């Protein structure tokens, strides 16, 4: 591990004890462990003492496919709780190739700087000329300053510099640590970015066993019917699918279907793809660059976007111009702002305007009506640069904005623990709903990835969760067990540095049997799926203990009242509400927690935390 103190300029190395990688693996688990062990209770998210960790996964940068992932952790400026976010790209593999499992950053520089990592040499360098630049220009400037145009850069944009609570850290086009606002932590430290260049590839511990294990994993992926879908459209067609399921969050959760959802689905602009792209060592290559040849953004070239951001800037904002959503997602990347969180807060503002809670006087004359993409673009810029009173208010995140605006705005702020909700309606996907409530980072599908509720067969659900009804997304049966397993499995995959798309989106390997074969092959240490799930459980518990240190309680495991009291009024899920309380008690019991959601002393002891 490399420790960097930006206040003193000190840089030191420390070996990562073997028992830590055994218990926490790397990536997210390692970041969580460091935060729980070292971050004191009185440190605010934007204080210099907040600890910012860039951690590669245990398998990052190896010859295992899709292992370019990197995890960033700190106390979140958005939620005040665990800040945890994962990105693809090349940065994780480069960092690991420098022999660095984690870069641990504290302090605050007295001027803008970047951290330059060239194999084993780590230096802090002046980034004054990059300050103020947007993503593309900032990354290019840092590479120029580092004197190596082939290196990889991670940067913040203007949103991070201005400590917007929704600020992301960008690792390339479409590669972001977006959720929980960690870009603002970099801004507070005057850290514009990092540049990394490895000089060797990471050798697998047991290459003889690793090669066939990887081949077997890849062969299983290629044999799946979903291979074609993921390699051509990525996640994008799920926008239309969620609408068809009657479970989308259109117009800030006021509708579960949306006429025009198909415009934000990748099939609608498949013809615009210029080339497919992927992260480090990824044969799936789910990303794509497109060139727009129609509509208001004709001539625009950029990244195609993914399901959640496209859905957020599309149906959630009442916008039926999918190509405008593509453009706005790219703008979020350029500004260095979480494309989900920013789209959500814009949808929230539109909802308030349409209801008369925000007036033209509040918006400076901006007509924030559903689908007004020009107004959405202007508001996004105002949030990024905090250039108007409304922009500055929304830049604090939805929870704080609702508090400042008042006038009943709180009831339209759909969030959990300060993090705004992703696109699936909890009443239509009940495991995902429970997952939103209990997720340590707040209301986010990616924390639990409860895909078995709609992708498992009844027999698979019976075998895995004790009831065939767990495969019925509208049933509450078996969902506590499902969320427990999926949540722990996600913690493992984020810590190994593998992408969730092959592991969960395609293989549905939530018992981690396939992952265990890979870990065994690469480390030479035999592990089972159950061993890995135990590590995942430990990681989830560490995050929960961290949250409780900073004031969270079981009462934060909740959903906005709308979803527990107001039945869905249309579509295939008509009449559905989510009955959260019994699922929550079942979940706590399965986790071995107290009835009020506290992590029990017995659980802490059992997990060796
Ligand atoms: S599947 Fe997509 S997100 Fe995952 S590693 Fe491959 S290109 Fe990156």
**Judgement on whether residues 523 and 594 belong to the same structural domain of the protein:** yes
**Judgement on whether residues 346 and 438 belong to the same structural domain of the protein:** no
- Report the atom number in ligand 1 closest to the C-alpha of 89: 8
For residue 601, the CA-to-ligand 1 centroid distance in Å is: 39
> What pLDDT sits at residue 541?
98
Q: Packing angle between helix 339-354 and helix 322-335, nearest 10 degrees?
A: 120
> What pLDDT sits at residue 119?
85
**Judgement on whether residues 392 and 478 belong to the same structural domain of the protein:** no
| Ligand 1 pocket: which of 60, 64, 65, 66 to mutate (most atoms within 8 A of CB) | 66
Hey, which residues does 289 pair with through a beta bridge?
A: 275, 303
pLDDT at 382 over 80: yes
**Each residue's pLDDT tens digit, 532-584:** 999 999 999 999 999 999 999 999 999 999 999 999 999 999 999 999 999 99
User: What is the rounded distance in angstroms from the CA atom of residue 522 to the CA atom of residue 490?
Assistant: 20
| Ligand 1 pocket: which of 276, 306, 493, 501 to mutate (most atoms within 8 A of CB) | 501
Instruction: Determine, yes or no, domain membership for 21.
Output: yes
Whose CA is closest to atom 5 on ligand 1?
66
Whose CA is closest to atom 7 on ligand 1?
278
For residue 282, the CA-to-ligand 1 centroid distance in Å is: 6
Residue 538, both tokens: 């430990």
Instruction: Determine, yes or no, domain membership for 220.
Output: no
CATH code at 400?
1.10.569.10
Report the side by side order of strands in the sheet with 152-155: 121-126, 113-118, 191-197, 152-155, 169-172, 175-177
- Report the atom number in ligand 1 closest to the C-alpha of 286: 2
Whose CA is closest to atom 8 on ligand 1?
279
User: What is the rounded distance in angstroms from the CA atom of residue 17 to the CA atom of residue 306?
Assistant: 37
pLDDT at 452 over 60: yes
User: What is the rounded distance in angstroms from the CA atom of residue 150 to the CA atom of residue 18?
Assistant: 33
Mean pLDDT of 431-448: 97
- The residue whose two tokens read 């994008």 is 236
**Judgement on whether residues 585 and 538 belong to the same structural domain of the protein:** yes
Whose CA is closest to atom 3 on ligand 1?
88
Are 153 and 137 in contact, with CB atoms under 8 Å apart? no
pLDDT band with cut points at 50, 70 and 90 for residue 201: low
Report the side by side order of strands in the sheet with 273-277: 273-277, 287-291, 301-303
For residue 476, the CA-to-ligand 1 centroid distance in Å is: 32
What is the DSSP annotation of 371-433? T-HHHHHHHHHHHHHT-SHHHHHHTT-HHHHHHHH-TTGGGG--EETTEEP-SB-TTTSHHHH
pLDDT at 207 over 80: no
For residue 305, the CA-to-ligand 1 centroid distance in Å is: 13
**Each residue's pLDDT tens digit, 484-539:** 999 999 999 999 999 999 999 999 999 999 999 999 999 888 999 999 999 999 99
For residue 506, the CA-to-ligand 1 centroid distance in Å is: 12
| Ligand 1 pocket: which of 86, 88, 178, 238 to mutate (most atoms within 8 A of CB) | 88
| Ligand 1 pocket: which of 91, 231, 282 to mutate (most atoms within 8 A of CB) | 282
Burial degree of 202 (CB within 10 A; 0-12, 13-18, 19+) = buried
Instruction: Determine, yes or no, domain membership for 506.
Output: yes
For residue 286, the CA-to-ligand 1 centroid distance in Å is: 6
- The residue whose two tokens read 């500055």 is 392
Residues with CB under 6 Å of ligand 1 are: 66, 88, 278-279, 282, 284-287, 499, 501
**Judgement on whether residues 263 and 360 belong to the same structural domain of the protein:** yes
pLDDT at 209 over 90: no
**Judgement on whether residues 400 and 448 belong to the same structural domain of the protein:** no
Which range is least confidently modeled, 195-204, 400-409, 429-438?
A: 195-204
pLDDT at 197 over 60: yes
Instruction: Determine, yes or no, domain membership for 33.
Output: yes
User: What is the rounded distance in angstroms from the CA atom of residue 95 to the CA atom of residue 52?
Assistant: 15
Instruction: Determine, yes or no, domain membership for 216.
Output: no
**Length, in residues, of the chain:** 609
CA atoms within 13 A on the CB side of 145: 27
**Judgement on whether residues 143 and 267 belong to the same structural domain of the protein:** no
- Mark which of 174, 197, 220 sits at the end of a domain: 197
Are 142 and 195 in contact, with CB atoms under 8 Å apart? yes
- Mark which of 368, 385, 413 sits at the end of a domain: 413
**Judgement on whether residues 71 and 172 belong to the same structural domain of the protein:** yes
pLDDT at 173 over 90: no
**Judgement on whether residues 172 and 257 belong to the same structural domain of the protein:** no
Mean pLDDT of 586-594: 97
**Judgement on whether residues 393 and 537 belong to the same structural domain of the protein:** no
Total domains in the fold of the chain:
3
> What pLDDT sits at residue 205?
59
Q: pLDDT exceeding 90 applies to what percent of the chain? A: 95
Per-residue H/E/C for 221-261? HHCCCHHHHHHHHCCCCHHHHHHHCCCECHHHHCECCCCCH
For residue 276, the CA-to-ligand 1 centroid distance in Å is: 11
For residue 228, the CA-to-ligand 1 centroid distance in Å is: 14
Phi-psi region of 262 (alpha: psi -120 to 50; beta: other; left: phi over 0): alpha
Residue 253, both tokens: 């959760």
CATH code at 437?
1.10.599.10
**Each residue's pLDDT tens digit, 260-312:** 999 989 999 999 999 999 999 999 999 999 999 999 999 999 999 999 999 99
**Judgement on whether residues 401 and 444 belong to the same structural domain of the protein:** no
User: What is the rounded distance in angstroms from the CA atom of residue 240 to the CA atom of residue 251?
Assistant: 15
- Report the atom number in ligand 1 closest to the C-alpha of 500: 4
Are 170 and 157 in contact, with CB atoms under 8 Å apart? yes
Instruction: Determine, yes or no, domain membership for 419.
Output: no
> What pLDDT sits at residue 206?
61
Parent domain of 115: 2-197
User: What is the rounded distance in angstroms from the CA atom of residue 164 to the CA atom of residue 383?
Assistant: 8
| Ligand 1 pocket: which of 172, 234, 499, 507 to mutate (most atoms within 8 A of CB) | 499
pLDDT at 203 over 80: no
CA distances in angstroms from 17 to 14, 145, 347, 539, listed in the order given: 9, 34, 46, 17
Contacts of 581 by beta carbon, 8 Å cutoff, 6+ apart? none
**Judgement on whether residues 47 and 178 belong to the same structural domain of the protein:** yes
Instruction: Determine, yes or no, domain membership for 323.
Output: yes
CATH code at 112?
3.60.9.10
User: What is the rounded distance in angstroms from the CA atom of residue 232 to the CA atom of residue 225?
Assistant: 13
Q: Packing angle between helix 479-496 and helix 458-465, nearest 10 degrees?
A: 80
- Report the atom number in ligand 1 closest to the C-alpha of 66: 5
- Report the atom number in ligand 1 closest to the C-alpha of 65: 5
Whose CA is closest to atom 4 on ligand 1?
499
Residue 458, both tokens: 């009844």
Hey, which residues does 302 pair with through a beta bridge?
A: 290
> What pLDDT sits at residue 430?
98
Instruction: Determine, yes or no, domain membership for 209.
Output: no
Mean model confidence pLDDT for the chain: 96
Contacts 24+ apart (CB under 8 A), 396-401: 396/165, 397/78, 397/165, 397/166, 397/181, 397/341, 397/345, 398/341, 398/344, 398/345, 398/348, 400/165, 401/345, 401/348, 401/349
- Report the atom number in ligand 1 closest to the C-alpha of 278: 7
For residue 501, the CA-to-ligand 1 centroid distance in Å is: 7
- The residue whose two tokens read 């698979």 is 460
For residue 545, the CA-to-ligand 1 centroid distance in Å is: 31
Neighbour tally for 135: CB within 10 Å:
27
> What pLDDT sits at residue 350?
98
pLDDT at 459 over 70: yes
- Mark which of 387, 413, 439 sits at the end of a domain: 413
Phi-psi region of 135 (alpha: psi -120 to 50; beta: other; left: phi over 0): alpha
For residue 68, the CA-to-ligand 1 centroid distance in Å is: 9
């Amino acid at each position: 591990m490399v420790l960097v103190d930006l206040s003193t300029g000190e840089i030191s190395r420390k070996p990562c004890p073997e028992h830590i990688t055994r218990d926490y693996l790397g990536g997210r688990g390692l970041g969580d462990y460091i935060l729980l062990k070292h971050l004191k209770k009185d440190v605010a998210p934007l204080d210099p003492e907040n600890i910012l960790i860039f951690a590669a996964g245990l398998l990052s940068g190896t010859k295992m496919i899709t292992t370019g992932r990197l995890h960033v952790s700190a106390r979140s400026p958005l939620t005040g709780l665990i800040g945890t976010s994962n990105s693809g790209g090349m940065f994780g593999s480069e960092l690991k190739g420098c022999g660095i499992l984690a870069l641990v950053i504290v302090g605050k520089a007295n001027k803008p700087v970047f951290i330059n990592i060239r194999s084993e040499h780590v230096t802090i360098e002046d980034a004054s000329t990059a300050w103020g630049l947007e993503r593309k220009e900032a990354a290019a400037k840092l590479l120029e300053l580092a004197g190596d145009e082939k290196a990889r850069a991670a940067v913040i944009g203007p949103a991070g510099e201005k400590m917007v609570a929704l600020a992301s850290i960008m690792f390339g086009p479409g590669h972001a640590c977006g959720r929980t606002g960690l870009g603002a932590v970099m801004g507070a430290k005057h850290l514009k970015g990092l540049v990394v260049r490895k000089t060797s590839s990471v050798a697998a511990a047991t290459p003889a066993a690793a090669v066939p294990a990887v081949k077997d994993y890849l062969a299983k992926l290629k044999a799946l019917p979903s291979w074609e879908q993921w390699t051509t459209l990525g996640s994008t067609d799920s926008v239309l699918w969620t609408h068809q399921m009657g479970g989308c969050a259109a117009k800030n959760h006021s509708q579960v279907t949306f006429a025009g959802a198909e415009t934000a689905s990748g099939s609608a602009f498949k013809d615009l793809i210029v080339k497919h792209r992927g992260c480090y060592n990824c044969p799936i290559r789910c990303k794509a660059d497109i060139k727009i040849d129609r509509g208001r953004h004709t001539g625009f070239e950029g990244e195609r976007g993914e399901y959640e951001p496209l859905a957020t800037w599309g149906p959630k904002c009442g916008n039926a111009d999918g190509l405008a959503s593509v453009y706005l997602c790219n703008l979020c990347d350029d500004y260095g702002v979480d494309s989900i969180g920013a789209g959500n807060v814009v949808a929230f503002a539109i909802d308030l305007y349409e209801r008369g809670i925000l007036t033209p006087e509040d918006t400076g004359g901006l007509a924030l009506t559903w689908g007004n993409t020009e107004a959405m673009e202007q508001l996004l810029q105002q949030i990024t640069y905090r250039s108007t009173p409304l922009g500055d208010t929304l830049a604090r995140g939805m929870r704080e904005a609702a508090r400042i605006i008042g006038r009943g705005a709180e009831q339209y702020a759909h969030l959990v623990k300060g993090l705004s909700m992703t696109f699936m309606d909890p009443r239509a996907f009940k495991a995902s709903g429970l997952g939103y409530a209990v997720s340590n980072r707040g209301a986010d599908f990616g924390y639990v990835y409860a895909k078995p509720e709609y992708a498992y067969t009844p027999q698979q659900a019976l075998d895995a969760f004790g009831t065939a009804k767990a495969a019925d997304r509208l049933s509450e049966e078996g969902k506590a067990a499902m969320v427990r397993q999926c949540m722990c499995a996600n913690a493992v995959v984020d810590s190994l540095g593998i992408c969730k798309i092959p592991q969960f989106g395609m293989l549905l390997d939530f018992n981690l049997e396939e992952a265990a074969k890979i870990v065994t092959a690469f480390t030479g240490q035999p592990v089972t799926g159950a061993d890995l799930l135990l590590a995942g459980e430990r990681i989830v518990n560490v995050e929960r203990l961290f949250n409780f240190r900073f004031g969270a309680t079981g009462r934060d495991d909740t959903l906005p009242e709308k979803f527990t009291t107001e039945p869905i009024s249309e579509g295939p899920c008509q009449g559905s509400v989510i009955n959260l309380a019994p699922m929550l008690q079942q979940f706590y019991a399965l986790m071995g927690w107290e009835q009020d959601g506290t992590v029990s002393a017995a659980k802490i002891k059992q997990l060796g935390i």
